[in-house]
Amino acid sequence: MGMGLVLFSLFLLFLQHTKGEDFNAINNNANNRSRILATSCNWFRGKWVYDPSYPLYDPFKCPFIEAEFDCQKYGRPDSNYLKYRWQPFSCSLPRFNGLYFLRKWRGKKIMFVGDSLSLNQFQSLTCMIQAWVPNSQISYIKRDGLTSVSFLDYDVKIFLYRTPYLVDVVNERFGRLLKLDSIRGGDSWKGMDMLIFNTWHWWTHTGRSQPFDYIEDGGKTWKDMNRMIAYYKGLTTWARWVNRNVDPFKTKVFFQGISPTHYEGKDWNQPTQSCTGQTQPFFGMKYPAGTPMAWVVVKKVLSRIKKPVYLLDVTGLSQYRKDAHPATYSGLHNGNDCSHWCLPGLPDTWNHILYAKLFS
């Protein structure tokens, strides 16, 4: 057995040991080089409270929400899920002000880079801002995996670059190849004033639902490999790209943490249920499923990165929101969607914390 394989086997054992540990304990003891967004206050430890002033925008007045997230339009009968606000234990998040955001980021370019969870967060932020300037001139362009919303009166441009793995998937004569050590699309990410990266959702897809046939790394090709190892390798390639290409004096870099799913009710001690029909968050102090292994991989990679990358550590607070998925109320997905999030909804809190980091 090669030394590389031995090290990865030990790494997997470490992940298995860690998975059941208390999320908050790990969060408190982890290496802080990844700069979890908490200075005088940990914004990621808190509880969901009912707030009748929510949501932060009217979904029927936002032109950016796509069918897969538009739960109210597609028949969701309840609305309490719209009314929950995240309240950190030891402080409060600053009030979101979209006009202030535009004025402070005048002339700047922001890009979300990742999969459909990045789309979720991108559409959330554009709706949150647009609600503050409903009469502002806006340009909305969609083409070939790149979407942009420009607030023309403020010269603020917000982009979405779709790439499910961050690393490349290329077509070869023998099939589609997931290249764990290659990022060709990175040139499109350069020149931004803020980058918000995300990847995890598609690494779990197998069989017909995966968009590749083989995996390549270091000149070697496999039919498949342990997906947690593949994820670690792919994220490490992304980290190298950040180290080589990002000037921290010009560009702020964020990584959207692991967004959980709620397909299996055993994760919150209700084994016969899923997200379908859920109308309230999980209100316990400790989420029964524990820490996802992918979260540990992200922490491991970010602890070694040389440039400042701020982790939007949304995993724990999102685990509580078993009620916030489209489920069957989506205009795109057939069946039960317990992966994505309704808009308005949970991604608004991710962006609220992003706002707090930028302006606190």
* Residues with a known catalytic role: 116, 337, 340
- HSE of 124 in the Cβ direction (CA atoms, 13 Å)? 27
Please state whether beta strands 109-114 and 194-197 pair in parallel, antiparallel, or not at all (unpaired). Answer: parallel
Alpha helices in the chain (DSSP H): 3-19, 23-29, 98-104, 116-130, 227-245, 293-304, 315-319, 346-359
Task: Name residues whose C-beta falls within 8 Å of residue 208's C-beta, 6 or more positions apart in sequence.
Answer: none
Between CA 96 and CA 102 the distance in angstroms is: 12
- HSE of 7 in the Cβ direction (CA atoms, 13 Å)? 5
- CA 287 to centroid of chain Cα atoms: 19
Residue type, 351: N
For 256-270, give the secondary structure using H, E and C: ECCCCCCCCHHHHCC
